[in-house]
Amino acid sequence: MKKILFLLLIPFFGFSQNIDDLFSEKGEIYFSFEYINKSQLNQISDVVSIDHKTNSELAYAYANKKEFSEFLKLDIDYKIIKKEPKKFSTINKSSWNYYPTYQEYVDMMTAFADSFPDICKLHHLGTLNSGREILIVQISNNVGKKENEPSFLYTSSMHGDELAGYILSLRLINHILNGYGNNARLTDLVNNIDIWINPLANPDGAYNGGNQDVWSATRYNANWVDLNRNYPDPEDGQHPDGNSWQDETEIFMGLADSINFTISANMHGGVEVCNYPWDTWSTLAADDNWWQYVSNEYADSCQANSGNGYFNYLNDGITNGYDWYEVDGGRQDYMNYFRYCREFTLELSDDKTPNPNDLPDLWDANYPSLLNYMEQSLFGLRGIITDSITGNPLKTKVEITGHDIDSSHVYSNLPIGNYHRYVYQGNYNVTFSKSGYHSKTLNVSVLNNTTTIEDVQLVPLNFVGIENKNVNQKIINSIDILGRKNNTEKNKLLFNIFEDGKIERKIIFE
């Protein structure tokens, strides 16, 4: 599945080239340059968007006019790489070896929801100035209803010219919907996961040349901003790229605010590798061993379901993001740090916009891995947290003592009170805490690819403890609730709440 891409290299040096000429056709350019070491590369990464094809000696990058002007100040020799639009002959759409027109894409997303209304809902997240929409489908056996289940997200092609995931996402939606009720595994996934799939996160970039085809696609959006440098960054603040949040960025930030995703993945292209956190700094994630486990699971399955040489880039198909090169303002770090969601980046193809005839092979190689990663959202530690008196669900911090750093803790989500904590197998002391409640710490054991359920009741602080000598446990509080039976007979409902969260109930008639 590896390909040789012939590019026209046109050298320009120093300041002699008129920068206006370089950007006369479109608002981004692609170029290469040599660099000395990773430290220098990371500094240059603050100026331009480093590309995945970068190797130990030669860097590839994208830049808009403002970014390239800053790059020129570094006085580094560079070569402009002119990418000629590609065209392919008519193909068989029933084999999924084609890129749809923009209208075909909209029609397909609409048809998914119309054809499977009981399990699929189309959400129109927002309309861009171009009139193109950000669309996403939600798939669940109780679609639109909050349940005790994880919410899972796949998005693709926030870089508009990285389109392997565009087609794989569309095909994944079709595969899941048609498999429901016919395939036991797919049925189980739909019944137990709130699934969200957005095939095209940057429609303006993908259809830069017009709505009829993607062969003039650009990396940046219509404002010539790299959307994967446009998010709040754990280290570099709210606007690490110096740009305001783009409409596309605000749309996905709004989605993450309203849907508490527990696991997600962001599909890109240019190489073949799983990129896991962090991108912005060298500190390893608290769950680095879990990230390596799920990344290897993805890569190993791709290798097993494809020809030799696929998905073995860098460390046999996986890499820590910062070890590769630094990215500030990326979606992956935003979701992990600010949204408490486990997200990694999937690089699906050496060719950013693969020959359509290669798309079926990419599907065969990836769809088992896509399902495996989705299934990971069901594993780990999970449960429901409630008030021990009222039984009402609580939004509670769930933190692994002596383990969690850099915002790796999670929270239970309302209105269910469910939490999902993914962690590599082992024994952990997990603390559940909320303002106004007694914290509780439990020792739990977790196995890989297995679910551990711990439902937790937290006791409010405003209860006064008394001793109950009959049961030899400390009662946090006793509550008398007076009521009437048949409007004539009073009764006393007595609750004894013990320090372990258990409740003893007695009814005393008066």
Domain boundaries, the chain: 8-82, 93-378, 382-458, 466-509
| CA torsion angle 304 310 314 315 (round to 10) | 0
Band of residue 187 on the pLDDT scale cut at 50, 70, 90: very high
Instruction: Give the model confidence (pLDDT) of 16-66 as tens digits.
Output: 457 888 898 899 999 999 999 989 999 999 999 999 888 888 999 999 999
| DSSP E strands, 238-341 | 261-268, 272-276, 318-320
Structure tokens at 335: 């979701």
- Judged against a pLDDT cut of 90, whether residue 123 lies above it is answered with yes
3-state SS track over 106-144: HHHHHHHHHHCCCCEEEEEEEECCCCCEEEEEEECCCCC
- Judged against a pLDDT cut of 70, whether residue 501 lies above it is answered with no
Do the Cβ atoms of 322 and 281 come closer than 8 Å?
Answer: yes
The contacts of residue 329 (CB under 8 Å, 6+ apart) are 228, 229, 230, 231, 232, 233, 236, 239, 240, 241
d(CA 209, CA 406): 41
Q: Using the structure block, give the residue that is written with the tokens 């594993």.
A: 379
Q: Using the structure block, give the residue that is written with the tokens 């509550």.
A: 479
Instruction: Give the model confidence (pLDDT) of 191-227 as tens digits.
Output: 999 999 999 999 999 999 999 999 999 999 999 999 9
pLDDT at 467: 44
d(CA 248, CA 220): 11
d(CA 322, CA 333): 11
Structure tokens at 284: 């390893």
Q: What is the CATH number of domain 93-378?
A: 3.40.630.10
Q: Quick one: CATH architecture of 382-458?
A: Sandwich (2.60)
Do the Cβ atoms of 380 and 424 come closer than 8 Å?
Answer: no
Do the Cβ atoms of 452 and 478 come closer than 8 Å?
Answer: no
355-368 b/e with 16+ CB inside 10 Å = b? ebeebebbbebbbe
Do the Cβ atoms of 291 and 285 come closer than 8 Å?
Answer: yes
d(CA 142, CA 190): 9
d(CA 137, CA 122): 5
Band of residue 431 on the pLDDT scale cut at 50, 70, 90: very high
Which CATH number applies to 8-82: 3.30.70.250, 1.20.1050.140, 3.30.230.70, 3.30.2270.10? 3.30.70.250
Alpha-helix residue ranges (DSSP H) falling in 157-287: 164-179, 184-192, 203-206, 247-258
**Pairing label, strands 473-485, 489-498:** antiparallel
Least confident of 87-101, 138-152, 220-234, 480-494: 480-494
Mean pLDDT, the chain, integer: 89
pTM value? 0.88
pLDDT at 83: 78
The residue type at 489:
E
Chain centroid to Cα 223, Å, comes to 24
**Pairing label, strands 342-348, 49-50:** unpaired
d(CA 483, CA 510): 11
pLDDT at 67: 95
The whole-number average pLDDT for the span 414-435 is 98
Give the HSE-up count for residue 65: Cα atoms under 13 Å, Cβ half-sphere: 11
Listing DSSP states for 18-71 in one string gives -HHHHTSS-S-EEEEEE-S-HHHHHHHHTTSEE-TT--SSEEEEEE-HHHHHHH
pLDDT at 2: 36
| Other Cβ atoms within 10 Å of 119 Cβ, number | 21
Residue 321 DSSP one-character state: H
Helix (H) or strand (E) holding 366: helix 359-375
**Pairing label, strands 261-268, 151-156:** parallel
- Judged against a pLDDT cut of 60, whether residue 405 lies above it is answered with yes
Backbone phi and psi for residue 164, each to the nearest 5 degrees, phi listed first: -60, -45
Of all residues in the chain, the percent with pLDDT exceeding 90 is 81
3-state class (DSSP) for residue 323: helix
102 vs 12 pLDDT, higher one? 102
3-state class (DSSP) for residue 504: strand
Q: Using the structure block, give the residue that is written with the tokens 């009437």.
A: 484
**Pairing label, strands 194-198, 261-268:** unpaired
Instruction: Give the model confidence (pLDDT) of 466-476 as tens digits.
Output: 444 454 555 55
pLDDT at 148: 97
Band of residue 460 on the pLDDT scale cut at 50, 70, 90: very high
- Judged against a pLDDT cut of 90, whether residue 94 lies above it is answered with no
